[in-house]
Amino acid sequence: MATALFVVKATIRKDQEDAFNRWYNEEHCPQVLQFKGVVSARRYRAIMGEDKYQYMAVYEVQDEPTFSRLMDSDHMKTLRAEYDAHFPDSERARFAYVQVWP
């Protein structure tokens, strides 16, 4: 089965960036990786071409059925609730992709 990518983009207030990056790196990503079938987690900061979201997280999931289980899980509900509690005024967008080649 093809790998799936789950992408989350975020806009964070300047005064919250340090706390956001620390929390995301030290708590959030390790928690996401605890879900069986999540293969990797990587984070990026925009340096060109992005006007709205300055941060992006990319999670590799072993396949589309596993991605669907992750999205429907209590684990994901908890992760979203924690994000919202820490950064309630941030703006985010979520995307998912399935590998089509090679």
Return mean pLDDT, the chain.
Answer: 97
The whole-number pLDDT of residue 1 equals: 86
Angle, alpha carbons 78-33-91 (nearest 5°): 55
> What's the pLDDT tens digit per position in 17-67?
999 999 999 999 999 999 999 999 999 999 999 999 999 999 999 999 999
Q: Could you tell me which of 48, 71, 45 has the C-alpha nearest to residue 58?
A: 45
Q: State which fold the 4-98 domain adopts.
A: Alpha-Beta Plaits (3.30.70)
pTM above 0.85, yes or no: yes
